[in-house]
Amino acid sequence: MKADIDMFRGAYKIPSELQGEVTWQSPSNIALVKYWGKYNGQIPMNPSVSFTLSESKTKTTLKFRPKQKKSVQYDFFFEGKKAPEFGQKALSFLEKATPFLPFISELDFEIHTSNTFPHSSGIASSASGMSALSLCLMSIEQKCNPTISPDFFYQKSSFLSRIGSGSACRSVFGSVVEWGVLDGLSESNDLYALPIQDVHPVFRDYQDTILLVDEGSKAVSSTVGHSLMNRHPYRETRKIQAGKNAKSILEVLRQGDLESFVQLVEQEALTLHALMMMSHPYFILMKPNTLKIIQQLWAFREQSGVPLCFTLDAGANVHVMYPGNDKETVMSWIKSDIVEYCQNENYICDHVGKGPKKLT
């Protein structure tokens, strides 16, 4: 489907006394089929599919009042303290969102944000952070235009989140989410994500234990990584592969086919890192302990018969994924054999979640 950008331009009267505060809590997500590479305007090079997480969340309160001075006035607080360094990202996002949310230029803002996961954990906060902020902005739009439908509310929230960070557009919906034009999926488009309804019950309660191998900041940012796909020798092959994998994973998720799930998810994770290693300049984000965990996981899967698998995002941490029924077995293996490979023995227990929540 070709979604039209013009449907998201706000044409409504802005009330003169627009003032108040809204709070949203929005989760992170983990891609099963990876978004890697983009065109101008945050258009993905290929379709992606993710699980929305449940425990790794950002809570954002947006306070707003009529503009006092001509220049942009906003204050950004991270975990209760003024944090202008993080605020820069929010400011540049607000600027990019203004053509679609005309009230931004009429208001002063105070943004208060906090994460349920440690900032230094290496868990990308851009997906949860940008989606939480976008949902808050849409709650303001709703005050200006109370007639907008729930579908439009979430589609535009996803559209705005994408402008802030591509993967953030998938965090606006729960459970399984697709983003990017995908052959055979009629509503799919590049501008906002799509919740996938036809999912086997085993995947509604899938577990994701995030092993924190390296809590430092990444040597190469996702933004740089994406840009290296522009002239990547495997670019065209990757586009075809991702399209095929996205189609296959949706079928696997529908059928509850755990064996194919394991194969596809691990192939995607290793492809992402292989693409990084084949970039110009090349780089490696895995650490020795990332590989040790992968090898232990393969041995444990072989010996136990538990259909667990791993995925990686753009970093060294390992996401161990498995059905809810196997939680006890997998957690006791992690505690006895795996925590030694995690930095400060840190890990986060997460699972597939229902999506964002409005708090006030």
Show Cβ contacts of residue 136 under 8 Å, excluding neighbours closer than 6 positions: 22, 23, 24, 60, 61, 62
Burial (CB count <10 Å: 0-12, 13-18, 19+), residue 74: middle
- Residue 318, Ramachandran bin (φ over 0: left; ψ between -120 and 50: alpha; else beta): beta
Among 23, 28, 48, 188, binds ligand DP6 (CB under 6 A): 48
Stretch that binds ligand DP6, among 3-11, 30-38, 78-86, 96-104 (CB under 6 A): 30-38
Among 34, 156, 273, 319, binds ligand DP6 (CB under 6 A): 34
Shortest Å distance, C-beta 15 to ligand DP6: 33
Shortest Å distance, C-beta 171 to ligand DP6: 10
Nearer to ligand DP6, 120 or 332 (CB): 120
Nearer to ligand DP6, 107 or 275 (CB): 275
Amino acid, res. 69: K
Whether the ω angle into residue 27 lies within 30 degrees of 0, i.e. cis, is no
Residue 31, interface with ligand DP6 (CB under 6 A)?
yes
Nearer to ligand DP6, 31 or 176 (CB): 31
- Residue 256, Ramachandran bin (φ over 0: left; ψ between -120 and 50: alpha; else beta): left
Among 166, 195, 323, 353, binds ligand DP6 (CB under 6 A): 166
The Cα 46–Cα 30 span in angstroms is: 16
Nearer to ligand DP6, 289 or 311 (CB): 311
Tokens of 355: 């999506």
- Residue 309, Ramachandran bin (φ over 0: left; ψ between -120 and 50: alpha; else beta): beta
- Residues 105-164 binding ligand DP6 (CB under 6 A) are 124, 126
Shortest Å distance, C-beta 50 to ligand DP6: 6
Report the 10 Å Cβ neighbour count for 222.
20
Shortest Å distance, C-beta 98 to ligand DP6: 19
Task: Name residue, tokens 């005050």.
Answer: 143
Nearer to ligand DP6, 178 or 313 (CB): 313
Site track 53-92 with ligand DP6 (rule: CB under 6 A), x = hit: ----------------------------------------
The Cα 173–Cα 233 span in angstroms is: 34
The Cα 192–Cα 136 span in angstroms is: 17
Nearer to ligand DP6, 22 or 123 (CB): 123
61, 111, 112, 348, 355 from 79: Cα distances, Å: 11, 11, 7, 19, 22
Task: Name residue, tokens 């227990």.
Answer: 349
Site track 203-242 with ligand DP6 (rule: CB under 6 A), x = hit: -------------------xx--x----------------
The Cα 173–Cα 327 span in angstroms is: 25
Any bridge partners for residue 320, and if so which?
209, 310
State the residue number with the nearest CB to ligand DP6: 166
Nearer to ligand DP6, 166 or 323 (CB): 166
| Pairing of the two strands 309-311 and 318-322 | antiparallel
Shortest Å distance, C-beta 156 to ligand DP6: 18
Among 35, 78, 100, 109, binds ligand DP6 (CB under 6 A): 35
Task: Name residue, tokens 């006030």.
Answer: 360
Shortest Å distance, C-beta 227 to ligand DP6: 9
Shortest Å distance, C-beta 36 to ligand DP6: 6
List contacts with ligand DP6 (CB under 6 A): 31, 34-36, 42, 48, 124, 126, 165-167, 222-223, 226, 272, 313-314
